[in-house]
């Protein structure tokens, strides 16, 4: 059986989709899985052994462009027995329909009747996003309940030789930091400061870790470069050399290699948090208005800190200074350090 998966557009969601691919291989041992994904996520698919091929999704997130979707679908005809559509949007269901794939599976979303012919409507029975993904690996009459649903944890393959090659590209920065063992920080967040742990708390934590003998690696995209510099420059001048700002300097593959080389990770709720989790790094995950009830890190070596209760709070800017959310401001660096040291001492 050949299966086409229309993947989500965000890094964290892409990581959670790996649980689906693993379960598909369990349920259909001889299946071949191809995944259509945006180019910025595709490097992750090459590190998931269950995926045969990553197909470029050239249409940007939010763009409709029906004619292009028709052409993409037409080029995929006569290749697949089943399609699984992970996004909930109407437009995401067009390509499998235009590809004339006989079995088209997904959750009920934006008026997708007819486009999907195996439409699931009991989404609320599966509170975690990863549960909703994995449930789509099962035939409609054989889906386990949420309590009995197996959740294979996402993982990414890493080649030691590739990691060393990546490290050589940043050798000068790491040498300046005296090649100390590194703790990685992932301080960025997709939708602004409300989801971010304050940079001044990160700086305090960084100082304490540097004084313990570690170096700090700051990871993120180009738009996280500024917050990375805020953290680095908030350190005493004589300690700044031990804090390497890699935000905006790495591609996704390089970030994966360098995160895998870290002793542990501290992160906001973000795509890189899910990557660190999949790499098996000891992880302290910091949550504020977002909720681990929906998208927790899937790892036995992860500790979650959240000081408020309840579900997701939809907010773009917090009430604290510089747009931070008070629930994240209240997480003191000493609390994070305590949890991190517990993980490191295991």
| Cβ atoms 103, 118 nearer than 8 A | yes
Mean pLDDT of 124-133: 94
What is the full DSSP assignment across 143-189?
A: PPPGGG---PPP-----HHHHHHHHHHTHHHHHHTTT--EEEEE---
Beta-bridge partners for 104: 83
- pTM, entire model: 0.93
Q: Binning pLDDT at 50, 70 and 90, where does residue 204 land?
A: very high
The Cβ of residue 18 has, within 10 Å, a number of other Cβ atoms equal to 27
Helix (H, G, I), strand (E, B) or coil at 274: helix
Q: Residue 189: which of 311, 12, 60 has the closest Cα?
A: 12
pLDDT digit string, tens, across residues 47-89: 999 999 999 998 877 778 888 999 999 999 999 999 999 999 9
Per-residue confidence (pLDDT) for residue 161, from 0 to 100: 96
| Cβ atoms 311, 291 nearer than 8 A | yes
Q: Is 180 exposed, middle or buried (0-12, 13-18, 19+ CB in 10 A)?
A: middle
Q: At what angle do helices 333-344 and 199-211 cross, to 10 degrees?
A: 40
Res 319 pLDDT > 70: no
Per-residue confidence (pLDDT) for residue 186, from 0 to 100: 96
Helix (H, G, I), strand (E, B) or coil at 262: coil
Res 102 pLDDT > 70: yes
pLDDT digit string, tens, across residues 286-316: 999 888 888 899 999 999 999 988 766 666 5
**C-alpha span between 62 and 10 (Å, rounded):** 12
Q: Binning pLDDT at 50, 70 and 90, where does residue 21 land?
A: very high
**C-alpha span between 307 and 331 (Å, rounded):** 7
Mean pLDDT of 135-139: 96
Per-residue confidence (pLDDT) for residue 230, from 0 to 100: 95
**C-alpha span between 205 and 332 (Å, rounded):** 9
11 contact partners, CB below 8 Å, separation of at least 6: 40, 41, 44, 252, 270, 271, 272, 274, 275
232 contact partners, CB below 8 Å, separation of at least 6: 203, 218, 240, 243, 245
| Mean pLDDT estimate for the chain | 93
- Sign of the four-CA dihedral 227, 233, 235, 238: positive
**What percent of the chain is predicted at pLDDT more than 70?**
97
Torsion of CA 258, 263, 268, 273, to 10 degrees: 60
**C-alpha span between 133 and 19 (Å, rounded):** 7
Higher pLDDT, 332 or 61: 332
**C-alpha span between 197 and 87 (Å, rounded):** 28
Q: Which helix (DSSP H) or strand (DSSP E) does residue 284 occupy?
A: strand 283-286
**C-alpha span between 284 and 273 (Å, rounded):** 9
Mean pLDDT of 118-143: 93
Q: Residue 214: which of 237, 182, 238 has the closest Cα?
A: 182
Q: Residue 184: which of 174, 194, 172 has the closest Cα?
A: 174
């Amino acid at each position: 059986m050949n299966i086409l998966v229309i993947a989500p557009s965000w890094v964290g969601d892409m990581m959670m989709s790996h649980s689906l691919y693993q379960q598909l291989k369990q349920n259909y041992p001889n299946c071949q899985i191809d995944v259509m994904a945006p180019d910025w996520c595709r490097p992750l698919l090459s590190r998931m052994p269950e995926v045969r091929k990553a197909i470029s999704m050239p249409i940007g997130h939010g763009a409709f462009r029906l004619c292009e979707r028709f052409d993409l679908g037409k080029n995929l005809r006569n290749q697949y027995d089943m399609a699984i559509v992970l996004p909930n949007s109407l437009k995401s269901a067009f390509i499998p329909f235009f590809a004339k794939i006989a079995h088209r599976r997904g959750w009920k979303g934006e008026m997708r009747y007819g486009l999907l012919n195996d439409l699931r409507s009991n989404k609320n029975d599966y509170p975690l996003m990863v549960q909703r993904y994995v449930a789509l690996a099962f035939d409609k009459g054989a889906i386990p309940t949420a309590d009995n649903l197996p959740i294979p944890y996402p993982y990414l393959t890493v080649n030691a030789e590739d990691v060393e090659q990546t490290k050589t590209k940043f050798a000068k920065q790491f040498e300046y930091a005296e090649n100390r063992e590194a703790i990685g920080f992932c301080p960025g967040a997709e939708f602004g400061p409300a989801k971010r742990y304050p940079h001044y708390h990160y700086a305090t934590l960084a100082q304490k870790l540097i004084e313990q003998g570690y170096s700090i690696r700051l990871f993120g995209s180009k738009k996280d470069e500024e917050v990375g510099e805020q953290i680095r420059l908030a350190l005493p001048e004589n300690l700044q050399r031990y804090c390497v700002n890699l935000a905006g300097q790495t591609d996704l593959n390089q970030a994966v290699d360098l995160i895998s080389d870290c002793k542990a990770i501290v992160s906001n709720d973000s795509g890189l948090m899910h990557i660190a989790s999949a790499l098996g790094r000891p992880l302290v995950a910091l949550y504020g208005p977002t909720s681990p009830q929906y998208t927790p890190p899937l790892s036995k070596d992860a500790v979650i800190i959240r000081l408020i209760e309840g579900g997701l709070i939809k907010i773009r800017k917090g009430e604290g200074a510089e747009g931070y959310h008070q629930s994240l401001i209240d997480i003191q660096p000493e609390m994070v350090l305590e949890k991190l040291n517990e993980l490191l001492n295991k």
